[in-house]
């Protein structure tokens, strides 16, 4: 039997596989149908609600410019029927850090929230004093 | 009786109040003591574990350069004993978007994860094609 953490990481991988394959159907199937969902694409305000979130994914995955994304350093934190994964997203020429929140629905982990933002080395000016800088 | 959403938003406000007042004690009291915690400061890799996360907050709040942060547009999503808030963080000259994950411990909502990243207007180059751009 896989642990809940392994189950969640597997669904997290499926999310990035759907992204990289630009597979809109697989992407839609990964999101919760029972709960309100939310999404923060890098650099943009939050989207709330199934219609708005899936609309954004259809637009992103339908674009010929959609990048391939590799997920690395994923760590799953399971709290009962809810879980979140923190991972890095490696794109051509860029690296992001993401938080993905999942809920277990009828035995399957489904996404309820995705938030991705850039890692400092790719940013012009970090906006908050970062720990490593404060400490060094 | 406040709704769970109102309770979570109140603790989310307390988080930003502790940040703005540079109140390290209040900040530490807001984080879960029972679960592993995680934190993604803007532009930086994820920190995992109480020691590392609270060390980063002590460094940030102990710095005279720590900015005041105003939380706006907060929306709480409650899933049983777990909740997440998506909100904007308005700093002097910058705006971030944040995801904060909470868990109910002995009746009190406590932070288990904080992830903040910049909003596009402050970034040099958005790394992923953003929905608004794809759609326009």
The ipTM of this complex is 0.88
Q: Look at residues A126, A101, A90 and name the one whose alpha carbon lies nearest to residue B96.
A: A126
Rounded to whole angstroms, the Cα distance separating B121 from B107 reads 39
**How many C-beta atoms surround the C-beta of residue B131 within 10 A?**
21
Encode pLDDT of A18-31 as tens digits: 999 999 999 999 99
Q: Would you place residue B119 in the very low, low, confident or very high pLDDT band (cuts 50, 70, 90)?
A: confident
Q: Which long-range contacts (CB under 8 A, 24 or more apart) does A85-88 make?
A: A85/A8, A85/A9, A85/A12, A86/B38, A86/B40, A86/B46, A86/B48, A86/B113, A86/B115, A87/A12, A88/A119, A88/B45
Q: B69-101 as b/e, with b when 16 or more CB fall inside 10 Å?
A: bebeebebbbbeebbbbbbbbbbeebbbbbbbb
Residue B54 has pLDDT above 60, yes or no: yes
Given a cut of 70, is residue A126 above it in pLDDT?
A: no
Q: Do B86 and A112 touch (CB under 8 A)?
A: no
Quote the pLDDT of residue B121: 55
Calculate mean pLDDT across residues B100-125. 84
Which of B41, B101, B126 minimises the CB distance to A131?
Answer: B41
CB contacts of B32 in chain A (<8 Å) are none
Please write the tens of the pLDDT for every residue from A97-118. Answer: 999 999 999 999 999 999 999 8
What value does the mean pLDDT take over residues A45-52? 95
**Distance, in angstroms, between A17 CA and closest chain B CA?**
16
pTM: 0.89
Q: What is the pLDDT of residue A20?
A: 95
Contact yes or no for B42 and A128 at CB 8 A? yes
């Amino acid at each position: 039997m896989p642990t809940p953490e392994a189950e969640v990481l597997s669904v997290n991988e499926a999310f990035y596989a759907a992204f990289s394959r630009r597979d809109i159907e697989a992407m839609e199937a990964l999101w919760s149908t029972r709960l309100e969902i939310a999404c923060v694409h890098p650099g943009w305000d939050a989207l709330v609600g199934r219609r708005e979130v899936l609309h954004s994914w259809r637009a992103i995955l339908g674009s010929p410019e959609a990048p391939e994304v590799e997920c690395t350093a994923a760590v799953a934190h399971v709290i009962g029927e809810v879980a979140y994964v923190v991972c890095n997203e490696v794109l051509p020429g860029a690296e992001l850090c993401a938080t993905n929140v999942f809920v277990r629905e009828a035995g399957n982990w489904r996404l309820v929230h995705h938030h991705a933002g850039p890692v400092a080395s790719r940013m012009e000016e970090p906006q908050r004093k970062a720990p490593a800088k404060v400490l060094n």
